Structure 1
Amino acid sequence: MCPLYPVHLVLMYGSLLLCVWAAGLGTIVGAVAQATTMKVRLHLNDTLVHDLDVQEGEEKQVTFYIDDLPAEAIGELMIKDLRPDNLDHISIEPDKIRIADNPSLDEVERHENGTIEGSFSISGKFLGFTKVKLVLSGGNDEELMESEPVKVKVQRGHRVLDKIFIHVVIAMVIVAYINMGCAIDLQVIKKTLRKPVAPLIGLMSQYLFMPLVSYAIGFGLFYDTPEMWLGLFLTGCSPGGGGSNMWTYILGGSLDLSVTMTFISTVGAFVALPLWVYGLARTIIKDGYYSKLPYKNIAMLVVGLVLPLSIGLLIKRYSPRVAVVLKRCLKPLSVIFIVFIMTFGVYANFYIFSFFDWKVALAGLLLPWLGFIFGAVAAVVCRRSWEEIIAISIETGVQNTGLSIGVLKLALQKFAPLGDITMVIPVAVATMTPIPLTIAYIFNRIKKCRQKPSNYEIDCSEYEDDDEKGSVQMSPSDSTTPLHKDANDNCKAAIA
């Protein structure tokens, strides 16, 4: 008969065996769960690369070499996309490569020295950053070996739509400025420059308030994403945009003052922009490339403003009849330009909205809206006329986002395509800027429609085409007079 052991001894030895078994199993499971790192070399066109760089719509063939893979290793070699966000930046084909013990089923090439060679293609789908790594799987999601992640940059591709948009915008701006040249009065501009109180208010608002407030907003919203902070700051440091002149004209502000302020702020960008960039930009991103700013772009802005305006002034002087027609076309042309920017411009840059979040939207709202408010308050405090208040307010809030995009691309060229990604900030600002201006325009239209027409209106448009009747002049005005009235309005006012 077998001896009977006490129950407590059985339980003790049983527990001990169970612990030993569990510890051994845990070691085995841990060894399986923790994949071994394998060394992988990537080649593009027989050139060793440490990261991958593709453009949107571009496909590249990548050859990989694995030197330390055991000869008996079999399974699937997976090429994984380690996406840091929810955006689909790349596509990989194939994403699984079979490593079999049967040469006829093997999808890799085995060299005599034990190196395994294979290839896959990578295509750029959407700009941004991601990583890929190679993982050897034994099946059932069991990862045996894995490589170090490789960085992948997807650059923005060259699109025909972008070129069409840029060329159409340039053409429309040139035509609009020629028409503005037919509407402005050089005598008024000279008078304004002799006593430049209003331009100085706009210049101080443009290059003191806007950079500081953009820096403060960026600090509050984008402290953890310095590239977005830099995008907002550089947008705030930019001069007034060409759209400010059109909005000023549409809303009844002083076009003479608006054009003067745009010219002064654009020329002032040669000094103000580098001062702010060298002063504060390095506190946001220290390693940015700030030594070369796009002075050529600034010079082109000045030429693009002065040259078409000069053509318009020449037309006004030597062909008054044509100038009257062009002046009347300015308002509908401005409306068409603004609608084009708000529709086709958004469509052409629609990819940017994939990076939109509440912080980007809030920044796009705050920067121009605070500019409108500050410019208006500063003008009111300095007791300027209503037309000048409109011009100063709009000129302060409307930024030249095209210039800020150029500066961003240069400053972040070492981190491409980060410059293209941070375009989301200038685009957000440009998208949000017209909202309060459009509301103001609709309100003005409704207000005018409700006003009762005067009972004493005399149509004297016949005088516009008669050069000999000099009693009707085109635009005698001063800096406090909105230049949205045509010659017909001036004639009615003179008769009244």
Structure 2
Amino acid sequence: MVGAFEQTLLALMIFVIMLGMGASMTPRDFWLALRRPYGIGVGLFSQYAFMPMIGFLFVTFLTVPETIAIGIVIMACMPGGTTSNIFAYFSKGNLALSVLMTVTSTVAGVLLIPIILLLYATALDLRIPRENIIVTLVLLLVPVGIGMALRRLNANAGAVTEFFGSALALFFILFLIVTWVPRNWQFLMDTTPATYVASIGLCVVGITVGYLFARALRLHPRNARTVALETGIQNGPLAIAIIAFTFSGTEAQEIMAVPALYSLFIVIVSTIVTLIFRRANAAAEQKMPDSLL
């Protein structure tokens, strides 16, 4: 499904995306986040507690092969993607909180993702080489650090890098649609309904649970929308990269099915959700205090 050229291009894309993610942040942003950590804490809990559990439930109740089950679990354990920042902006969410949550969940993922994968892979009796995933995650922190350093040295260069990183995340999805879908049309036709349910359901259920959780904790509606999008919009390119660098051959291609399908449908689902959020921007919300809490 993903050839050698695409894997090389994917590696370059991931590097630039992570570089842009790092360029969106400065050490001061982390300091401000630590001073008012409630919103970020809610988002991180929603990201790494609910999403893996949702993936676990899909694997438990849907009849899927082991390779598809591994793809579901890996996809569910990913941090937020930069695509969520764009939809947070258009849905009138809290963009600053969205960016902080994306970067924080990525950095925290170096520690949390292997632990969560160990727990759920053991519970589901799946074979996932966690050591390779840890190495990949650590290596991905390098461009994040470079991006932060670039932003600190030159604010303009950092802003340009951030823009290209975010734009490339969307381009990756378009790239999949234009190049991957036609060549894998038969695969899409042969894919079981259960795989489609899991691929689309991770986003739909994740956004719904994230929003309800944030509202139950009485977060400002802007921040609740942000938490919802950050929870449901996972880093699909990162999942595909981890699989490409961890597995090989036919096994890798089959495991990539869920992250690839998820990346295809995420824009459609998120666009619909964004339209719903914009329509729900009632006058009563405008009277509420605007804060990160």
C-alpha distance in 2 between matches for 1:193 and 1:384? 17
Structure 2 SS opposite 1:433: helix
Give 1:329 shift.
4.5
**1:230 aligned partner:** 69
Work out whether residues 234 and 408 of structure 1, in 8 Å CA contact, stay in contact via their aligned partners in 2.
no
- Corresponding letter in the other structure for 1:181: G
Paired-residue identity, %: 21
1:277-310 Cα deviation digits (max 9, x unpaired): 11x212xxxxx5x3x6232233322331x32222
Structure 2 SS opposite 1:184: coil
Matched, 1:255 2:91: no
Work out whether residues 361 and 428 of structure 1, in 8 Å CA contact, stay in contact via their aligned partners in 2.
yes
**2:42 aligned partner:** 201
Alignment gaps of 5+ in structure 2: 90-94, 280-289
Work out whether residues 46 and 231 of structure 2, in 8 Å CA contact, stay in contact via their aligned partners in 1.
yes
Structure 1 SS opposite 2:78: coil
**2:209 aligned partner:** 374
- Corresponding letter in the other structure for 1:191: L
**1:300 aligned partner:** 136
Give 1:274 shift.
0.5
1:433-444 → structure 2 map (5 Å cutoff): 433-440=266-273
Work out whether residues 210 and 237 of structure 1, in 8 Å CA contact, stay in contact via their aligned partners in 2.
yes
1:76-225 → structure 2 map (5 Å cutoff): 162-222=3-63, 225=64
Give 1:374 shift.
0.9
Structure 1 SS opposite 2:3: helix
- Relative to structure 1, the CA distance from residue 227 to residue 407 in structure 2 (aligned partners, 3 Å threshold; closer, same or farther) is farther
**1:425 aligned partner:** 258
C-alpha distance in 2 between matches for 1:229 and 1:327? 33
- Relative to structure 1, the CA distance from residue 442 to residue 237 in structure 2 (aligned partners, 3 Å threshold; closer, same or farther) is closer
Normalising by structure 2, what TM-score?
0.74
Matched, 1:337 2:172: yes
**1:105 aligned partner:** none
- Relative to structure 1, the CA distance from residue 312 to residue 229 in structure 2 (aligned partners, 3 Å threshold; closer, same or farther) is closer
**1:245 aligned partner:** 82
1:365 maps to which of 197, 200, 212? 200
C-alpha distance in 1 between matches for 2:104 and 2:255? 31
Normalising by structure 1, what TM-score?
0.47
Moved more, 229-238 or 258-267: 229-238
Select the structure with the greater relative contact order (CA < 8 A; seq sep ≥ 6): 2
Give 1:260 shift.
0.9
C-alpha distance in 1 between matches for 2:136 and 2:157? 27
Work out whether residues 40 and 100 of structure 2, in 8 Å CA contact, stay in contact via their aligned partners in 1.
no
Give 1:237 shift.
4.6
1:343-383 Cα deviation digits (max 9, x unpaired): 33434654531432333222222122101111122122223
- Relative to structure 1, the CA distance from residue 294 to residue 206 in structure 2 (aligned partners, 3 Å threshold; closer, same or farther) is same
C-alpha distance in 2 between matches for 1:345 and 1:480? 39
1:184-240 Cα deviation digits (max 9, x unpaired): 232222232355333432333333322333333333331xx4536734652455222
| Count of matched residue positions in the alignment of Structure 1 and Structure 2 | 274
Work out whether residues 231 and 408 of structure 1, in 8 Å CA contact, stay in contact via their aligned partners in 2.
no
**1:281 aligned partner:** 124
Give 1:387 shift.
5.1
**1:402 aligned partner:** 240
**1:107 aligned partner:** none
C-alpha distance in 2 between matches for 1:420 and 1:330? 26
CA-based RMSD of the aligned residues comes to 3.7
C-alpha distance in 1 between matches for 2:200 and 2:143? 32
Structure 1 SS opposite 2:82: helix
- Relative to structure 1, the CA distance from residue 296 to residue 360 in structure 2 (aligned partners, 3 Å threshold; closer, same or farther) is closer
Work out whether residues 22 and 146 of structure 2, in 8 Å CA contact, stay in contact via their aligned partners in 1.
yes
Query: Per residue, is there more strand in 1 or in 2?
Result: 1
- Corresponding letter in the other structure for 2:83: M
**1:352 aligned partner:** 187
Structure 1 SS opposite 2:79: coil
1:141-166 Cα deviation digits (max 9, x unpaired): xxxxxxxxxxxxxxxxxx8x612212
**1:124 aligned partner:** none
Query: Per residue, is there more helix in 1 or in 2?
Result: 2
C-alpha distance in 2 between matches for 1:409 and 1:315? 33
Alignment gaps of 5+ in structure 1: 1-158, 283-287, 411-415, 447-477, 482-496
C-alpha distance in 2 between matches for 1:265 and 1:431? 23
Give 1:334 shift.
4.1
**1:271 aligned partner:** 115
